[in-house]
Homo-oligomer: A and B are copies of this chain.
């Protein structure tokens, strides 16, 4: 049975028809206004209707950033959209006469990698979505872990540095502040202040604007020592946290995705090295492998559709 997956971002939605092999058969994208929840819902309903004109589907999965209720019908809190205890399924059901499932976007992406992507051969995996922030998903024993309150996988808010950088959540030292695109950008800007003599390549790429993540990636790929070091730091902290997850839930694979993962080995190698340095009892226990995600922008659509189907 085919299903529709919808990925609701801060300023746009993407919806697609996904078959049982995880292939996206058709897709639409619409711009939305994060301050207008009603308009977002209308856009989702419209996108689904549009796709159904040419495809027969059996369910709709909707992925969004934020905390989703354990029954997967409501968004408890969304960081980018004005949703608080928002009954999203009920609202959408007014315009969609199909079973609807709401899921956290990182969970959807992780599920897609588990079912159809890099981790399709394993039973236990953790997904790290390294974008602006750091999202996560855990699949254990072949099941997506949702947690008792629907909040599992918020790995970006595990504390890695007591007294460390302030997170947007109001706490200090969250992993996200050390292992995300935001961390990379901020470290690069700080390095440009602290080590202006070493930041020439970055400053040139940025021109008269602030340094952004893609500048660091470009400089690192061109061999700039400071940019390479910044990726090494990012990888260091990602490796620390993966070792923590290995100690707690012992998965078979950690999949690294998200926009920053486009840097490839520049990021992956330092993660692996740091993980090997931090895993306790290494050599006396089996250990996970760390791999790049396969699916890219479509992971949210694919995972949401598949979760709705099952």
- Chain A residues engaging chain B, CB cutoff 8 angstroms: 67, 70, 76-77, 84, 122-124, 136, 138, 140-141, 143, 145-174, 178, 186, 190-197, 240, 243-252, 277-278, 280-288
Known: A154-B281, A194-B171, A249-B138. A159 touches B159 (CB 8 A): no
Residue pairs across A and B with Cβ atoms less than 8 A apart, 10 shown, are A140-B145, A145-B250, A149-B250, A159-B243, A161-B162, A163-B178, A167-B280, A170-B191, A171-B190, A248-B248
A245: chain B residues at CB < 8 Å are 248
Measured in the bound complex, the distance between the Cα atoms of B167 and A283 in whole Å is 17
Q: Is the interface of A mostly helix, strand, loop or mixed?
A: loop
Known: A284-B67, A284-B77. A249 touches B248 (CB 8 A): yes
CB-based nearest B residue for A136: B248
Known: A160-B159, A162-B160, A194-B171. A250 touches B150 (CB 8 A): yes
User: Could you tell me the distance in whole angstroms from the C-beta of A66 to the nearest C-beta in chain B?
Assistant: 9
User: Could you tell me the distance in whole angstroms from the C-beta of A178 to the nearest C-beta in chain B?
Assistant: 7
Q: Choose among A124, A158, A161 the residue with the greatest number of B CB atoms under 10 Å from its CB.
A: A158
The reply to whether B164 and A164 contact each other, CB–CB distance below 8 Å, is yes
User: Could you tell me the distance in whole angstroms from the C-beta of A129 to the nearest C-beta in chain B?
Assistant: 14
The reply to whether B152 and A248 contact each other, CB–CB distance below 8 Å, is yes
CB-based nearest B residue for A66: B284
